[in-house]
Amino acid sequence: MFDFVYAWPLWAQILCFILGLGIGVFCLVKFCDIFVDSSVAIATKAHVSPLIIGLTVVAMGTSCPELAVSVSDSIETLVKGGHANVAMGNVVGSNIANLLLVLAISVLITPIVVRKSVLKKEFPILLGVSAIVVVLGCLFGLHGVTGDYAITRWEGAILAALMIGYIVYIVLTAKRHPEQVEIEETQVKTMSWAKAIILAVVGIAGLALGGELVVFGAKGVALSISDAAHLNHDMAEAVVGLTVVAVGTSLPELVTSAVAAKKGQNEMALGNVIGSNLFNVLFVMSIASMINPLTTGDQIVIDLLVTMGATVGTYLLAIKGKLGRWQGAVML
């Protein structure tokens, strides 16, 4: 889409890549809000239960940036060829950032009391899902790609099935034990059907544009880094996806969790992080991998293990029922 930029002088290319990243992240955050607000309005007008809205539309909302970036990269690599390194790095890096940055900052603002139900249910589910992704990412190869492993289309279908099962589980749990489920309170903005639908379309278009800009900027920066440091291009893309892109797409979770912690709704901050990590893997990774298999080179495999380690470490820090400021400092 932006291939004409590569005909520019090098300094202009690098400036354009950085601007593309920044504008792309801004679009993702802004249009994510528009899409979620309009989707909530549509669901409300369709008489969908507020409980279902809170557990699905709103909960998935913070994963919109990751979805937009990963899907954009998967489509681009499917059309042009190559590996969806940014897509995979984005999901893995975002999950690491959610635990070791977003949750850590939330805990530093206000210590979190961890309920037994979270330790017995939500955390074990997250640990199980993380372990499944490590197995899928490390044990199964992609035909025709020597030495690389991948989350293939059929593995993406497995993750999608787990996603459906998880949504059914949280909805049934919420109906049976509403006191055990934290749902983010969302003010439904009054709007007509036409306005809600138009804004939903605008939100989707904005997310698509933001995802395209972030992928363009990330791959451009990766190309510059690989040329300057004589690194493998795929490795450079994965590193940029794991760091710059991941932190950028984690901004909604950071803002949501920090605001919740500041308001004293510290349990919601923990719920946002756990829920976001689950949706990133089961929702974002499944869709992106079904479009185009997500290759997992050595760097990604290492970071998959880091994600698993960070999840286990956070669980061990929280096992006594509280995440205090010193635990937050350790995580950060």
Q: Where are the domains of the chain?
A: 3-331
Cα-flanking dihedrals φ and ψ of residue 85, to 5°? -70, -40
- Residue 285 confidence (pLDDT): 93
- Residue 148 confidence (pLDDT): 58
Instruction: Give me the chain's average pLDDT, please.
Output: 81
Q: b/e map of 158-168 (b: 16 or more CB within 10 Å)?
A: bbbebbeebbe
- 128 pLDDT above the threshold of 90: yes
- 53 pLDDT above the threshold of 80: no
Taking the mean position of all CA atoms in its chain, how far away is CA 170? 19
Higher-scoring residue by pLDDT: 148, 245: 245
- Residue 23 confidence (pLDDT): 92
Q: b/e map of 106-130 (b: 16 or more CB within 10 Å)?
A: bbbbbbbebbeebeeebbeebeebb
- The pLDDT > 70 percentage for the chain reads 84
Cα-flanking dihedrals φ and ψ of residue 143, to 5°? -60, 130
- Residue 266 DSSP class: H
> Which amino acid, residue 141?
G
At 187, the pLDDT band (50, 70, 90 cuts) reads: low
At 288, the pLDDT band (50, 70, 90 cuts) reads: very high
Higher-scoring residue by pLDDT: 201, 177: 201
CA end-to-end span of the chain: 37
Of 297, 274, 260, residue with least CA distance to 127: 274
CATH T-level topology, domain 3-331: A middle domain of Talin 1 (1.20.1420)
- 283 pLDDT above the threshold of 60: yes
291-310 tens-digit pLDDT: 988 876 666 778 888 899 99
- Residue 311 confidence (pLDDT): 92
> Among 22-26, 38-42, 90-94, where is mean pLDDT lowest?
38-42
142-160 tens-digit pLDDT: 444 434 567 888 889 999 9
Matching residue, tokens 């138009």: 198
Those residues whose C-beta lies under 8 Å from the C-beta of residue 236, and which sit 6 or more positions away, are 222, 223, 225, 226, 229
Length of the chain: 332
Choose from 41-45, 235-239, 298-302 the range with maximum mean pLDDT. 41-45
Burial class of residue 176, CB neighbours in 10 A (0-12, 13-18, 19+): exposed
- 51 pLDDT above the threshold of 70: no
Of 242, 277, 267, 254, residue with least CA distance to 128: 277
Rounded Cα distance between 192 and 81, Å, is: 43
Of 86, 76, 95, 165, residue with least CA distance to 134: 95
Rounded Cα distance between 17 and 121, Å, is: 42
At 216, the pLDDT band (50, 70, 90 cuts) reads: confident
> Among 82-91, 193-202, 227-236, 297-306, where is mean pLDDT lowest?
227-236
Those residues whose C-beta lies under 8 Å from the C-beta of residue 39, and which sit 6 or more positions away, are 57, 61, 200, 203
Burial class of residue 315, CB neighbours in 10 A (0-12, 13-18, 19+): middle
- 99 pLDDT above the threshold of 60: yes
- Residue 170 confidence (pLDDT): 82
| Cα–Cα distances in angstroms (integers) from residue 58 to residues 86, 207, 235, 291, 308, in the given order | 25, 16, 34, 24, 26
| Cα–Cα distances in angstroms (integers) from residue 305 to residues 70, 201, 243, in the given order | 20, 38, 16
DSSP string across 294-306 = EEE-HHHHHHHHH
- The pLDDT > 90 percentage for the chain reads 18
Rounded to an integer, the average pLDDT of 33-48 is 83
Long-range contact set of residues 224-230: C-beta below 8 Å, sequence gap at least 24: 224/10, 224/13, 224/14, 224/17
Higher-scoring residue by pLDDT: 32, 231: 32
- Residue 143 confidence (pLDDT): 45
